Each structure stands twice: as C-alpha cells, then as structure tokens.
C-alpha cells in the first residue's frame, strides 16, 4: 500500500489502511445549449470550475502530463469535458466497443447508487472511437461486462491542439467533450431519477502508454522481451490500488440546480464515512478469507481497535451464512442501517 493511504487517526480507528476521502465536485445546471464539438467554448463551460489535477491511480505520484475535467448538466444530458496535455497525440483504434485502453484514452466511470453494482464505463481515444459498457457487479468480483449495452444517444467530440499521428511536431493537448443522456444513465440507478441536488459516484481515468515510433507510426512500447511496458493510470479521485474497479474510491459529483456562476458548497454526508469504514472491513474480510479459507465471524478477527468514524464508535456485526456473509451496522448519525454482502454490494436496509 502507498503512503497516501495513511490511517486516519480519530477519523478511522482501524488497524487496516483506510482510503483518503474521495474527491468531490459540484456540477451546475446550465440553461445554455451545449454544442458537442470538443472545444467547450460556451460561457457555462468557462464559468464551470476545473477538477483538481489528476493524480497517479495509487495516489502518490504526480503524472508527467496534466489532466483536468469539468462537468455540467441539464434536463437531457450529463456533460463532461476533459483537457489532456500530451506532446505525442496518437490513436489507431477505430472500431466501436473495441478495447480502447490499448490506445491512450480518457475514461468515465459512473455508479449512481454507490453500491458497486450495475455501473457504467465509457472510454474514448483521440480518434473519438468509443467503448461503452455496463458492469452488472464489480469486475473485481468477476462481474460480467455487458459490451453490447450502449449509451444510446451519446454525443462525443475530440479537438486536437497539434496533429494526430504525426511525430514530426510536438503537440499541446487533446480535449474531449461528452454529452451522456440521462434516460440511459438512470438505467443504472435504483430510483431511475436525475440526481438533482443529489450526488452520484463518478471517477475519471486517463490511460497513457510509453510509445515506439517505426516508420513514423506510433505503437505501444515493448521491453527487450517483446512484452508491452505497463501503462500509466492517472485519475481524478485516487484509488489507492491499480484498479479502477473498486467503485468505493470514486469521487462524489453533486448535481446542483444552481447556475455555474453561483458558488455552492457540497459536504460529503456523514453516513458516507461509514460506507468507507465498512469497505475497509470488507477488504479485510477478503484478506482473512485468502489466509484462512473461511470468513471471519466477528469484527474482532479483522482488526483490534474499535471501529470509529468522525469520533463516533460503530458496532458492526458479521453474520456468516452458507453462501457468504453479511456485514451490518447502524449509523450513529442518521439511525439508518447498512449492510455489505460478500460480493461487495452495499445496501441501505432502512430509509
């Protein structure tokens, strides 16, 4: 584990390494028509704030090229704009729903309910070739990727400051603009509603490869044994591990009905801190199973100290059954009861 995943002290009293709070962003509502041309030159985009600079996926390295994003929404679309600095802009893949991250790409991950189930992944390269898919359950748990599920009606455009696939000059950046229809995105949401004045879990990833040049053509760089060198993964909200398919680490996007010119503060709800603590126990339970070939039936077997969130002690319980386990807890803040199952799904038991 990396240094950014330090123990929280009074925030998390766990003897397992806990994640830092995910990043958050306020996406404002626009009444302006947004033309998807990759340029984001409408006044709403100019008023929208940039995200924090992307960081290495594990959270402890500064990427060699800068990446930032912005977000807006209206009654039809969730809009995303990203700017990716890059001196060598190249892409080769042209078939929709091919494995786009074999090129340098920009990726969007959306989990409306924050339950790590039924979430959306979208990838695009500098040729504006896209791959959109739905994961019924987290890929880390063996969840199938539904490749033939499409974000019908999606609009995307790429604008390049430089020359694509031309090694004779130095490029500046490429920018991506996306409009995702709500009537498709909400298929992944339990209530099927646009999250007005509410939040969804979202993250962005940028895959960047070292490259080779042969006869003026770009390709992924290989080592002396002919194996591709590993890619760089740069993200908005750090994952702590080299795996985008741990949705509990994704950022929080709050969809305000105010205009971009207004300044709204969003504070991550207290019960979300409980969610993070429970996922720390979930990961500890997976480690316990790998060592003992059985599930721990008490929290004390997973960690020594009491589980405490925001100076409030929790009392999580584990119930082991024939097909797995349930980890449940009652919030000291809201009185709501929550449960995590062995597949990582997060369930709110009480409204």
The per-residue pLDDT for range 258-275, each reduced to its tens digit, is 988 888 999 999 999 999
The answer to the question of residue 7 being in a domain is no
Could you report the per-residue pLDDT of 222-256, keeping only the tens digit for each? 999 999 999 999 999 999 999 999 999 999 999 99
Instruction: Print the SS3 string covering the chain.
Output: CCCCCCCCCCCECCCCCCCCCCCEEEEEECCCCCCCCCCCCCHHHHHCCCCCCCEECCCCCCCCCCEEEEEEECCCEEEEEEEEECCCCCCCCCCCCCCHHHCCEEEEEEECCCCCEEEEEEEECCCCCEEEEEEEECHHHCCCEECCCCCCCCEEEEEEECCCCCCCCCCCEEEEEEEEEHHHHHHHCCCCCCCECCEEEEEEEEEECCEEEECCEEEECECCCCCECCCEEEECCCCCCCCCCCHHHCEEEEEECCCCCCCCCCCCCHHHHHHHHHHHHHHHHHHHHHHHCCCCCCHHHCCCCCCEECCEECCCEEEEECCEEEEEEECCCCCCEEEEECCCCEEECCC
Checking if the pLDDT of 351 tops 90, the result is no
- Of the three residues 256, 281, 311, the one that is the final residue of a domain is 256
Checking if the pLDDT of 194 tops 50, the result is yes
Checking if the pLDDT of 336 tops 50, the result is yes
Checking if the pLDDT of 182 tops 50, the result is yes
Alpha-carbon gap, residue 32 to 46, rounded angstroms: 12
**Tokens found for residue 58:** 């594990």
Mean per-residue pLDDT, 129-149: 89
The answer to the question of residue 198 being in a domain is yes
- My answer on whether 329 and 228 are in the same domain is no
Alpha-carbon gap, residue 174 to 106, rounded angstroms: 10
Average pLDDT of every residue of the chain: 92
Checking if the pLDDT of 6 tops 80, the result is no
Question: What is the model's pLDDT at position 20?
Answer: 79
Task: With cut-offs at 50, 70 and 90, classify the pLDDT of residue 141.
Answer: confident
- Name the nearest CA neighbour of 231 among 243, 217, 240: 243
- My answer on whether 135 and 38 are in the same domain is yes
Alpha-carbon gap, residue 280 to 327, rounded angstroms: 11
- My answer on whether 231 and 338 are in the same domain is no
The answer to the question of residue 15 being in a domain is no
- My answer on whether 105 and 145 are in the same domain is yes
Checking if the pLDDT of 196 tops 60, the result is yes
Mean per-residue pLDDT, 29-46: 96
- My answer on whether 128 and 202 are in the same domain is yes
Number of domains making up the chain:
2
- Of the three residues 256, 284, 317, the one that is the final residue of a domain is 256
The answer to the question of residue 8 being in a domain is no
Could you report the per-residue pLDDT of 10-28, keeping only the tens digit for each? 333 333 334 579 999 999 9
- My answer on whether 64 and 192 are in the same domain is yes
- Name the nearest CA neighbour of 135 among 348, 349, 344, 347: 344
Question: What is the model's pLDDT at position 137?
Answer: 84
Q: Which domain holds residue 192?
A: 24-256
Which CATH number goes with the domain that contains 114? 2.60.40.1190
The answer to the question of residue 144 being in a domain is yes
Mean per-residue pLDDT, 147-155: 94
On whether the CB atoms of residues 312 and 271 are closer than 8 A, the answer is: no
The answer to the question of residue 39 being in a domain is yes
Q: Which residues pair with 78 in a beta bridge?
A: 73, 180
Question: What is the model's pLDDT at position 305?
Answer: 80
- My answer on whether 229 and 339 are in the same domain is no
- My answer on whether 320 and 189 are in the same domain is no
Question: What is the model's pLDDT at position 169?
Answer: 92
Percent of the chain having pLDDT more than 90?
85
Checking if the pLDDT of 8 tops 80, the result is no
Question: What is the model's pLDDT at position 43?
Answer: 96
Task: With cut-offs at 50, 70 and 90, classify the pLDDT of residue 283.
Answer: very high
The answer to the question of residue 6 being in a domain is no
The answer to the question of residue 121 being in a domain is yes
Task: With cut-offs at 50, 70 and 90, classify the pLDDT of residue 332.
Answer: very high
- My answer on whether 226 and 312 are in the same domain is no
Question: What is the model's pLDDT at position 91?
Answer: 97
Sequence-separated (6 or more) residues with CB below 8 Å from residue 225? none
- My answer on whether 41 and 116 are in the same domain is yes
Question: What is the model's pLDDT at position 145?
Answer: 86
Task: With cut-offs at 50, 70 and 90, classify the pLDDT of residue 9.
Answer: very low
Checking if the pLDDT of 139 tops 90, the result is no
- My answer on whether 92 and 218 are in the same domain is yes
- My answer on whether 113 and 160 are in the same domain is yes
């Amino acid at each position: 584990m990396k240094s950014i995943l330090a123990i929280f002290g009074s925030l998390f009293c766990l003897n397992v390494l806990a994640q830092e709070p995910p990043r958050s962003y306020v996406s404002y509502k626009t009444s302006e028509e947004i033309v998807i041309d990759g340029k984001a030159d409408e006044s709403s985009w100019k008023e929208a704030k940039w995200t924090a600079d992307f960081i290495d996926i594990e959270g402890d390295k500064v990427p060699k090229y800068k990446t930032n994003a912005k977000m807006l929404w209206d009654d039809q679309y969730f809009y995303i704009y990203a700017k990716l600095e890059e001196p060598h802009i190249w892409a080769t893949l042209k078939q929709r729903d091919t494995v786009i991250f074999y090129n340098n790409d920009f990726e969007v991950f959306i989990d409306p309910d924050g339950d790590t189930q039924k979430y959306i992944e979208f990838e695009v390269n500098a040729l504006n070739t896209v791959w959109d898919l739905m994961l019924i359950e987290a890929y880390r748990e063996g969840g199938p990727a539904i490749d033939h599920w499409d974000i019908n009606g999606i609009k995307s455009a790429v604008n390049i400051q430089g020359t694509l696939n031309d090694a004779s000059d130095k490029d500046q950046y490429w920018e991506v603009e996306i409009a995702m229809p709500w009537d498709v995105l909400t298929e992944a949401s339990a209530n099927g509603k646009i999250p007005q004045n509410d939040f969804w879990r979202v993250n962005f990833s940028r895959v960047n490869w070292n490259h080779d040049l042969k006869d003026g053509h770009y390709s992924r760089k290989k080592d002396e044994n002919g194996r591709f060198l590993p890619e760089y993964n740069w993200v908005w909200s750090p994952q702590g591990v080299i795996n985008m398919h741990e949705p509990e680490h994704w950022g929080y996007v709050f969809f305000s009905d105010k205009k971009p010119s207004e300044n709204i503060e969003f504070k991550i709800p207290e019960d979300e801190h409980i969610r993070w603590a429970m996922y720390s126990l979930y990961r500890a339970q997976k480690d316990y199973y790998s060592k003992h070939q059985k599930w721990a039936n008490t929290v004390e077997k997973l960690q020594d100290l009491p589980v405490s969130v925001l100076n409030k002690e929790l009392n999580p319980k584990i119930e082991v059954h024939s097909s797995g386990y349930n980890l449940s807890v009652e919030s000291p803040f809201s009185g709501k009861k929550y449960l995590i199952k062995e597949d990582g799904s997060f369930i709110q038991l009480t409204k």
